[in-house]
Structure 1
Amino acid sequence: MTRTRKASSLISVFTVTAMALLPWQSASAEPDPRHGIAMHGAPQYTEGFPHFDYVNPEAPKGGILRMAVVANGFDTFNPFVIRGVAAAGINAYLYDTLMEPSADEPFSAYGLIAESIETPEDRSYVTFHLRDEARFHDGESITAEDVKFSFDALTTKGHPFYRNYYADVTEVIVEDEQTIRFEFGETNNRELPLILGQLPVLPSHYWENREFGDNGLTPPVGSGPYRISDFEAGRSITFKRVKDYWARNIGVRKGRYNFDEIRYDYYKDDTVALESFRAGNFDFRVESSAKNWATAYTGNQFDSGKAKTEAIEHGRPAGMQAFAMNTRRQVFSDPRVREALAYAFDFEWANKNLFFGQYTRTSSYFENSELASSGLPEGRELEILEPYRDQLPEDVFNEDYQPPSTAGKSGLRDNLRTALTLLRDAGYEVRDGTMVKRETGDPLAFEILIFQKTFERVVLPFKNNLERLGIDVSVRLVDTNQYIQRLREFDYDMTVQGIGQSDSPGNEQREYWHSSNVDVKGSRNYMGVNSPVVDELVNLVIQAPTREELVYRTRALDRVLLHGHYVIPNWYLPKDRIAYWSFLQRPETVPKNGVDINNWWVKSTDQ
């Protein structure tokens, strides 16, 4: 999992797990309180560390950061429920969590609201001891009752994600005002102590006379480094730094959250947003378009150094961006059809003609990491897959998955021939130029749903190639809010989807692939994956006892998903492409997870 943090996306997620006991401790010994935990082994930072290595602890506070959001507005300040579209920044700035992850380790976290954590060797429970000084913005202390309220609200009234994420928690016990214990029952879910550290803590007294799902645009009470100071419904939101923020001197916060104000302005069109950045109307931009990166960042402001661009390498998993097929729809129920469609996507042409050769083809759900499968399964990975041999396609064991390539003299032509063969095997044939089901005469037709107009230049050539096969494809461009609602309802045939991953996958994999989420509206099982083998592999990933075993189990899961042909992989870039105005300054060290604007600051006038 996840904040890719794991998930990026619509709900940000990051994973953390309990630190192993020292060699002299027995399994039955009562665990000692620890300042931090790691998924496997010991955390990198020792108790009492002053700050993370990748921040500037002397960064000055002050100034305003102006950001842009390309979306069709917002209608709620509650990001924890499935209803509505939440304003940008709420999760990042308004609410603190029990623990805080580091950005330069595979999966470790350190106390924030929780001063310390206790968990036994078998990780059958976890106890958090809260800091006495932890406060909400209204001055009320953060207590164990607030933590319990938050867990209960999120898992019963919140987004379905939370029910899946914390599904193995069997009991929540408030031991005293500052101590809370989570029991896990019979489970090998070693990640649970860590992902509970990600729990955002909400004020129970604020919600006492309010309905949790109906917050709307009433600014809520939080505990984080910023509070909402101003907003214009659907158009902008401004966060103001809490100058007496209770955690400002704790190691996980030192040198971070340096801007006095952070403002988000909403734009309905990315082209307009880009021109607004060039005009100096906002300050920092992450560029997602290869064409823009190659052509748009020119002019006097860039020549003079007033505005800057950087492509900064990162080491985080790239995950999977792809054309995702909704297998709940009959048209995509046959894996041979799904595989055939992949042969019509010409990545090599798109990379050369649209992307200025900037991208690399994605070939794994865990791309750009050691978790990605490759070659044929062997050794421990083969041992994991062997019990499922009779339930899996032979290709899982006999073929190295690679997305179809058009490299070579007659690449696309040969690929379309392969697609025709697969479609014939699946019971289709061409009649009067139309691909139809042999038995019924029903045409092979579907819609591609997108919300970014710039993606039309990628989708339309793909559509044209499919039409050469006699497949009727329509492209539907909708606004962001409609797109989100249709995703939540699984109301699409094919869409472009990004599935982010972290360096330590775990409980969030249920949300992506487990059959229990096929019909759960709002889940991230976008493709409708419904496989007993995938379910078991997801459970194995969650229960991995060591880092080495986690890698093997994740590779096995990756391989089975790839040979299920649920997606047509797109591309990735192991760099953050950023543009910013020169009054912003960043730390010299960039962590493995890449650029984080919350570690930046405004240059002082004497610099």
Structure 2
Amino acid sequence: MRGLIVGMLFGACFPAWSAHAYAQFGDIKYPPGFQHFDYVNPKAPKGGEISLVPPTRLSNFDKYNPFTLKGSAPPSLVGLVFETLLTGTLDEPTTAYGLLAEDVAVAPDRLSVVFRLHPAARFSNGDPVLAADVKHSFDRLVSKESAPQYRTIFGEVRGATILGERTIRFDFKRVNAELPLIVGGLPVFSRQWGMEKGKAKPLDQIVTDMPIGSGPYRVGKVSFGRDITYERDPHYWAKDLNVRRGLFNFDRITYKIYKDNTAQLEAFKAGEFDYIQAFIAREWARAYSGKQFDSGQLIKKELKHGNAGDFQGFQFNTRRDKFKDPRVREAIGLAMDFEWLNRQLFYNAYTRVRGYFVASDFEATGKPGSDELALLEPLRAQLPPEVFTQDVPQPPVTSLDPASGRTLRDNLRRARALLAEAGWTYRDGALRNAKGEAFTIEFLDNSGSMGRIVTPFARNLEKLGIAVNYKVIDFAILQKRMDVFDFEVISSRSVGSEAPGTELVERFGSKAADIEGSGNVIGIKSSAVDTLLDKVISAQTRPELVASVRALDRVLRFGHYVVPHWYGGVHRVAFRAGRFEQPAVTPRYYQPESWITSTWWATETNREALYRRMAAGKAN
């Protein structure tokens, strides 16, 4: 039974859904039996290799389990080794197609979904992927053995029930059009993973046990904590499946990890790896240059995309008393002179982040429209009146024109007034509260790259009497301190989304604020925010989703929880010439690392070089 079934046959007001795919709002692009996604080359040859560095701040790894809180897992382990029931695409933000599941059926009342597993699905050890494995994975991920974000992500799922050897049902606590996508994104691992003497270890005790997933790659050669190679599984069960055709073409994908950006870039120039993404405008303009770039040995490109803008900013830990007052947070933000930074440090390469959903349909603008007001009016007693009467807050702008009223000096005057309203005044050489305590801020960083940003920011804050301490620590230590909320201000980046949903509860929900390791590092606890989050995840149409996310963005921006940073409209990447080819079609929504490792392929020279090395290794 494929396609839409009229739900009235079942006495329900909603249609049921049984198909090869599921769309949150009903818009499926690829029909049943489609051959491949538009943005792949279905005839791409397999073979060769690519080596790269992760786009994250990872400085090492100490485990092979990406699902637990403690420790750091290798980059791309989830995407290359583990698979999900459904798989998303790079050209549809709210649709997913069958992968481990060949069929997805949503009940007429939308309170459950049934997945029928593909009979050919196999784990890397040869075992079939069964409903018992899916339930095992779900039960482990929602237990206290896993990282806390999974309990938030799957918080609206009542449970999983095995209906047959390859059939499983997930029941929901309420109607939520996104939930079939959420459970469809469940990472599935074998019940045999972590087995010891016939007994399964708790998930949080599975640390260096080699993963047993169903993905296209297996863990290969490892320099533990530093480098890891993934090797393509020659017996990969889904290599001829339409949702995998033309994908995962490299025989080997190697990630190399370096302690700092300088060492990383010099290693790239020295030929230690093939691909890198640049995030610092100054480095892109000045350091990605030289004879190798001039000769064409190394290629640098700015790749266009249609992604929503990434959110990036200095985030306050509002659990600290000095950051609880929004006037204080707004005052600190007024000391950031973005226009100076963009001129002097960024080569005018960036646009200021305005809110949490910048450059997307979900970004709040101006005063609230009627659709937003319908959501905000019941919350009027919980919100400042400005939410209803004023334009949504914008980051401060600095002008060089003294008559503009927007010079840095003007902004600092406004900041000083806000601080005074909040009980902080300048005396005895420092900004102090009524108890005489001096105002200090500690900025934590793991790479040192933020130092050139914090230094001029600190100079401006010092004019307000605020003393700044900028501290560089190892990423692993920073992550631990973030997990237990032991920080004052950190710089954080979140990838933009074309379909925000349940993950926002993890970032902004009150319950997450008290859970160690959660994404709510700011510590937001707001009943109004919680109500709007509820509206987001219960949206039944895209207009409802847009209105609810815009209202959420508006309320968060009036809270001044962050000092917004900046974003760029292109991906800046560099790679070694003559080693790769790419499909003719570039997708609209993508991150360059995963797009390259999944859809590009090795040139003949690259493939032959790997074959020769492999043959030499066998001979030795």
Structure 2 CA distance, aligned partners of 1:293 and 1:124? 50
| Aligned residue in 1 for 2:398 | 406
Which of 51, 57, 62 is residue 36 of structure 2 equivalent to?
51
Structure 1 CA distance, aligned partners of 2:377 and 2:458? 39
Structure 2 CA distance, aligned partners of 1:299 and 1:584? 22
Structure 1 CA distance, aligned partners of 2:73 and 2:304? 30
Deviations along 1:543-590, one digit per CA (max 9) or x if unpaired, are: 001001100110000000000010010001121111111212222222
Which of 329, 333, 340 is residue 331 of structure 2 equivalent to?
340
Normalized against structure 1, the TM-score is what?
A: 0.94
Which of 543, 546, 556 is residue 551 of structure 1 equivalent to?
546
Structure 1 CA distance, aligned partners of 2:6 and 2:339? 53
Aligned residues of 1:21 and 1:121 also touching (Cα < 8 A) = no
Distance 1:387 1:424, change over 3 A: same
| Alignment of structure 1 residues 163-202 onto 2, 5 Å | 163-185=151-173, 187-202=174-189
Structure 2 CA distance, aligned partners of 1:397 and 1:211? 50
| Alignment of structure 1 residues 7-406 onto 2, 5 Å | 21=4, 26=9, 28=11, 31=16, 33-69=18-54, 71-156=58-143, 157-185=145-173, 187-208=174-195, 209=199, 210-400=201-391, 401-406=393-398
3-state DSSP of counterpart to 1:355: coil
Distance 1:20 1:567, change over 3 A: farther
Structure 2 CA distance, aligned partners of 1:72 and 1:370? 35
Q: After the TM superposition, which of the residue ranges 531-540 and 43-52 deviates more from structure 2? A: 43-52
Cα distance, 1:407 vs. partner?
Answer: 2.4
Cα distance, 1:207 vs. partner?
Answer: 3.2
3-state DSSP of counterpart to 1:537: helix
Q: Does 1:504 align with 2:499?
A: yes
Structure 1 CA distance, aligned partners of 2:347 and 2:438? 36
Q: After the TM superposition, which of the residue ranges 499-508 and 234-243 deviates more from structure 2? A: 499-508
Structure 2 CA distance, aligned partners of 1:433 and 1:388? 42
Deviations along 1:308-365, one digit per CA (max 9) or x if unpaired, are: 1111121122242001000000110111100100000010011111110000001120
Deviations along 1:156-207, one digit per CA (max 9) or x if unpaired, are: 021111101111111311000000001113x132211111011111101233
Cα distance, 1:304 vs. partner?
Answer: 2.3
Distance 1:20 1:466, change over 3 A: farther
Deviations along 1:375-402, one digit per CA (max 9) or x if unpaired, are: 1112211221111122111221222210
Cα distance, 1:482 vs. partner?
Answer: 0.6
AA in 2 matched with 1:36 = A
3-state DSSP of counterpart to 2:302: strand
Aligned residues of 1:20 and 1:41 also touching (Cα < 8 A) = no
Which of 434, 442, 449 is residue 444 of structure 2 equivalent to?
449
Aligned residues of 1:527 and 1:566 also touching (Cα < 8 A) = yes
Deviations along 1:458-517, one digit per CA (max 9) or x if unpaired, are: 111111110111011111110110111111111100110113342111111110111011
Cα distance, 1:22 vs. partner?
Answer: 5.7
AA in 1 matched with 2:111 = S
Q: Does 1:485 align with 2:473?
A: no
Distance 1:547 1:27, change over 3 A: farther
AA in 2 matched with 1:418 = R
Structure 2 CA distance, aligned partners of 1:21 and 1:490? 47
AA in 1 matched with 2:408 = L
Distance 1:255 1:105, change over 3 A: same
Distance 1:462 1:32, change over 3 A: closer
Cα distance, 1:121 vs. partner?
Answer: 4.2
Cα distance, 1:27 vs. partner?
Answer: 5.8
AA in 2 matched with 1:160 = P
Q: Does 1:425 align with 2:421?
A: yes
Deviations along 1:1-28, one digit per CA (max 9) or x if unpaired, are: xxxxxxxxxxxxxxxxxx9946686563
Cα distance, 1:214 vs. partner?
Answer: 2.1
| Aligned residue in 2 for 1:604 | 604
AA in 1 matched with 2:294 = D
Deviations along 1:250-308, one digit per CA (max 9) or x if unpaired, are: 11111111110011111001111011111221111111110111112222222222211
3-state DSSP of counterpart to 2:519: coil
Q: After the TM superposition, which of the residue ranges 220-229 and 64-73 deviates more from structure 2? A: 64-73
Deviations along 1:85-104, one digit per CA (max 9) or x if unpaired, are: 11112111111111100111
Structure 2 CA distance, aligned partners of 1:173 and 1:500? 33
| Alignment of structure 1 residues 515-594 onto 2, 5 Å | 515-582=510-577, 583-594=579-590
Distance 1:325 1:24, change over 3 A: closer
Structure 2 CA distance, aligned partners of 1:292 and 1:484? 25
3-state DSSP of counterpart to 1:453: coil
Distance 1:442 1:88, change over 3 A: same
3-state DSSP of counterpart to 2:450: helix
3-state DSSP of counterpart to 2:134: helix
Distance 1:131 1:332, change over 3 A: same
Structure 2 regions of 5+ residues with no counterpart? 608-620
Distance 1:584 1:606, change over 3 A: closer
Structure 2 CA distance, aligned partners of 1:126 and 1:227? 30
| Aligned residue in 1 for 2:616 | none
3-state DSSP of counterpart to 1:33: strand
Deviations along 1:70-90, one digit per CA (max 9) or x if unpaired, are: 533110000000011111121
Normalized against structure 2, the TM-score is what?
A: 0.92
Structure 2 CA distance, aligned partners of 1:207 and 1:25? 46
What's the C-alpha RMSD, in Å, of the aligned pairs? Answer: 1.7
Q: After the TM superposition, which of the residue ranges 297-306 and 193-202 deviates more from structure 2? A: 297-306
Aligned residues of 2:52 and 2:275 also touching (Cα < 8 A) = yes
Q: Does 1:458 align with 2:453?
A: yes
Structure 1 regions of 5+ residues with no counterpart? 1-18
Structure 2 CA distance, aligned partners of 1:593 and 1:55? 14
Aligned residues of 2:7 and 2:108 also touching (Cα < 8 A) = no
Cα distance, 1:63 vs. partner?
Answer: 0.8
Cα distance, 1:109 vs. partner?
Answer: 0.3
